[in-house]
Amino acid sequence: MTFQPNSPHARDVRYHLHPYTNLKAHEEQGPLIIERGEGVYVFDDSGKRYLEGLAGLWCTGLGFSEERLAKAAYEQMRKLPYAHSFAHRSHPAVIDLAEKLISLAPDSISKVFFTNSGSEANDTQVKIVRYYNNVRGRPEKKKIIARKGSYHGITLASASLTGLAYAHKFFDLPLDGFLHTEAPHPYHGAEPGESEEDYASRLAQMLDDMIVAEGPDTVAAFIAEPVMGAGGVMPPPATYFEKIQAVLKKHDVLFIADEVICGFGRTGNMFACETYGLKPDMLTVAKQLSSGYLPIAGAMVSDEIYQVLKEGSAEAGTFGTGYTYTGHPVSAAVALETLNIYQERDIVGHVRAVMGRFQERLMALGEHPLVGEARGVGLIGAVELVEDKAGKRNFDAARKIGARAAQLCQEEGVLLRPLANDTVAACPPLIIEPAQVEELFDGFTRGLDRLAGELGVAV
């Protein structure tokens, strides 16, 4: 495509190195430029309106025009635009946010360390795991097991946790000491006739076998998203986490729950730990913590871990990690206001009120001739597109069928996200209203029908 010489499209192609983008294809097709947002909608530079069916990148729980968040940022900027929390310093915004977050978090969690992104938060969790075992005199106990298909970030350590090939290829990753076990994907992974419970037992046994093969004295932690997000929206099979947690306990392996997508109402509870009965030693939050309005994330830990960190820092002279922007006052003020709004408007109650219909429409897409499986929970879901429904056979990846589906849905006014295996995900702002759930799935369905037309498949 040729762009007007000084158009925003041409300048974007000329100067902007994009994250997670096929750079070569970008020079051809240029950007989709989003200019403004309103409620659950965003508008591009031609004025076309889209329902943001993925809440940006699974983050804008309160949509795109929450005045109270803009006001909280403005007021904090005028009062104190910057402060840090190194060397015993603190400020009201970060204190209030920490208190609020701990009051909402699962009982096992007692302290929060702030970062600017989910990647940094998981990177910090890796550092804390190392510190913890060093202070406890177990220098060999350092390996971390994540799951194939997982997404935990893109710093060198958090990308090593991530179990997706595209985050590793050409980056010399994963680093040593990061392992990946099977994640649940019943559609492809369960044996014919195998019950959810038996499948879960098998996966837990695989984890147990891996820990034993590596040597339990060398395995420090296990990390999992309660519902795998970027890896294809994979809710866990019944009894999975119960069995996984028993294995971890048996081998004295810490459990890190990555709630970066699931946290703050997404699954119909404040945290998915509640939805699935998780008792993590460490918890990672980001994204909806500030409704995506400013960068902020948290690496949260149990009191047991905190006590060990305290001991270590006394010996070392300091807990030697922290960012210039750790607990940034403006981000903290916006996050605090976000959490206040979630509570005042009973966002969990709202999610519960609309998620039934969301899941009903999602499951109905499972009947579409191109859809092998529809899966989801709460206000998150996805469909996996297949060439052969009976044989559960995916399309050749090179055909990029999932990306084409998302493109057609975009043309139909709904923004969705194509993931690996031609899986297309929806994860709208939590404030979505019932009529907008219909609008989302009407657009999703029209997009899939058009794709079927292009592929010559009858609908």
Q: What does the binding site for ligand PMP look like in residue numbers (CB under 6 A)?
A: 57, 117-119, 122, 151-153, 225, 229-230, 258, 260-261, 286
Contact partners, residue 128, CB within 8 Å, separation at least 6 = 113, 282, 299, 301, 305, 309
The sign of the torsion formed by the CA atoms of 69, 70, 74, 80 equals positive
With respect to ligand PMP, which residue has the nearer C-beta, 225 or 439?
A: 225
Q: How far is the CB of 232 from ligand PMP (least distance, A)?
A: 12
Tell me which residue has its CB nearest to ligand PMP. Answer: 118
Q: How far is the CB of 136 from ligand PMP (least distance, A)?
A: 26
With respect to ligand PMP, which residue has the nearer C-beta, 266 or 361?
A: 266
Say how many Å lie between the first and final Cα of the chain, rounded. 33
Could you identify the residue written with the tokens 């810490």? 254
Q: How far is the CB of 407 from ligand PMP (least distance, A)?
A: 21
Q: How far is the CB of 67 from ligand PMP (least distance, A)?
A: 24
Q: Which of 114, 103, 67 is nearest to 328 (CA)?
A: 114
**Nearest-angstrom CA–CA distance, 118 and 297:** 6
Separation in Å, CA 215 to CA 4, 131, 140, 157, 333: 61, 20, 10, 22, 45
Q: Which of 321, 430, 445 is nearest to 378 (CA)?
A: 430
With respect to ligand PMP, which residue has the nearer C-beta, 230 or 431?
A: 230
What is the number of alpha carbons within 13 Å of residue 447 lying toward its C-beta?
29
Q: How far is the CB of 438 from ligand PMP (least distance, A)?
A: 27
Q: How far is the CB of 368 from ligand PMP (least distance, A)?
A: 26
With respect to ligand PMP, which residue has the nearer C-beta, 286 or 431?
A: 286
Q: How far is the CB of 120 from ligand PMP (least distance, A)?
A: 7
Strand partners, 113: 299
Token readout for 333 is: 């003020």
Q: How far is the CB of 49 from ligand PMP (least distance, A)?
A: 25
Q: How far is the CB of 177 from ligand PMP (least distance, A)?
A: 19
With respect to ligand PMP, which residue has the nearer C-beta, 380 or 409?
A: 380
**Nearest-angstrom CA–CA distance, 330 and 332:** 5
With respect to ligand PMP, which residue has the nearer C-beta, 60 or 119?
A: 119
Q: How far is the CB of 125 from ligand PMP (least distance, A)?
A: 10
Token readout for 157 is: 């350590």
With respect to ligand PMP, which residue has the nearer C-beta, 113 or 395?
A: 113
- Contact status, residue 102 vs residue 279, Cβ threshold 8 Å: no
Q: How far is the CB of 337 from ligand PMP (least distance, A)?
A: 19
With respect to ligand PMP, which residue has the nearer C-beta, 117 or 407?
A: 117
With respect to ligand PMP, which residue has the nearer C-beta, 254 or 286?
A: 286
**Nearest-angstrom CA–CA distance, 13 and 97:** 39
Could you identify the residue written with the tokens 């109650």? 349
Residue 96 is given by DSSP the state: H
- Contact status, residue 230 vs residue 164, Cβ threshold 8 Å: yes
- Contact status, residue 300 vs residue 306, Cβ threshold 8 Å: no
Could you identify the residue written with the tokens 């605090």? 336
Residue 399 is given by DSSP the state: G
Instruction: Annotate 205-234 with DSSP letters as a single string.
Output: HHHHHHHHHH-GGGEEEEEE-SSB-TTT-B
With respect to ligand PMP, which residue has the nearer C-beta, 59 or 370?
A: 59
Q: ∠ CA(38), CA(40), CA(44), 5° rounding? A: 60
With respect to ligand PMP, which residue has the nearer C-beta, 258 or 422?
A: 258
